Structure 1
Amino acid sequence: MNNRKDRLLQEYIHDPYFTKEKYHDPSVCERCGVVFHEGIFQWIEPPPPNAEKMVCPACRRIEDRYEGGVVVLEGEFLQTHKDEIINRIKNVEEEEMAYRPLERIIEIKEEDGKLVITTTYEHLARRIGEAVHRAYKGNLNFQYPEGAKYIRVHWER
């Protein structure tokens, strides 16, 4: 039996927005209305009457502007199709939030002719990049900084 003590261990990537203790079941976010029930966050209408009030990790991240992903879109094509691209981005957010309620856009802003979208977690940023690329082609690049639960997405056309 091999009992090596010098093997590399994958360290857990800490997310300060997920509390170590479980939320009361059920709990409802007093800001957005997402419900923590049966171990997951989900949209339940109306929220259970016995739900304890709390602020969910996504609302806390948005309040603190603590992004989990950033998408940068640029190029001539962006300038001539900006409204259409922004609508696509908002549709992707809506679809993603249906299944992952904590995946949200923090901000969409224009900087030096670029569109910069920050998201609460990395899944939504990746989905936005993939959706824009699938619809409009161009060059798409993903960067995951080592040891971080974060993504940088860059698209250009």
Structure 2
Amino acid sequence: MNGRKDRLLKDYLHDPYFVKEKYPEPSVCERCGVVFNEGIFSWVKPVPKEFPKMICPACRRLEDKCEGGIVLLTGKFLKNHKEEIINIVKNVETYKIEKRPLERIMSIIEDENGIEIKTTYEHLARRIGEAINNAFKGELKITYPEGEKYVRVKWFRDE
């Protein structure tokens, strides 16, 4: 070890949707019903009505239309397998939302160029791209813009 103290340290990527002050524990999101308890968000059935109310980070992102990730799907293959691909997208969300309730699809927009999927956080967008690529192969490009808590996922297959 050289003992140097002038190394470059990476800054923490700040997420403005996570508040600095802690939510009361336990508390429940008045929009979606997710419960915050012991420092984590989880689904609790039935949702206790006596818990203090708050708005969770995912619902605030949805209201502000501020995605944490975007998935762009294009190519001729997509047009012939759209239903199967959309099923994969929804299955990935269903699986992820059980373990990570704040990871949600905000929108799925189809047009003549392909499909655009916006997600609340970057993990879900990356996982959707990986799942589609694992199932159908193609060209997958995942880009994390420097200094941002965001991901852009592009998947393309022409055949």
TM-score over 0.5 (shorter chain): yes
* 1:26-79 deviation digits (Å, cap 9, x = unpaired): 010111110001110000111234311011000000111111100000000101
* Structure 2: 5+ residue stretches without partners: none
Number of aligned positions between the proteins: 156
* Structure 1: 5+ residue stretches without partners: none
SS in 2 for 1:41: strand
**Stretch deviating more after TM superposition (12-21 or 45-54):** 45-54
Following TM superposition, by how much is the alpha carbon of 1:9 offset from its aligned partner in structure 2, in angstroms? 2.4
The within-5 A match list for 1:6-155 is 6-155=6-155
SS in 2 for 1:145: coil
**Identity of matched residues, %:** 62
CA RMSD of aligned residues (A): 1.4
- Equivalent-residue separation in structure 2 for 1:121 and 1:100 (angstroms): 10
Compute the TM-score of the two structures, normalised by the length of structure 2. 0.93
> Is contact 1:93-1:103 (8 Å) kept?
yes
* 1:114-137 deviation digits (Å, cap 9, x = unpaired): 100010000000110011011111
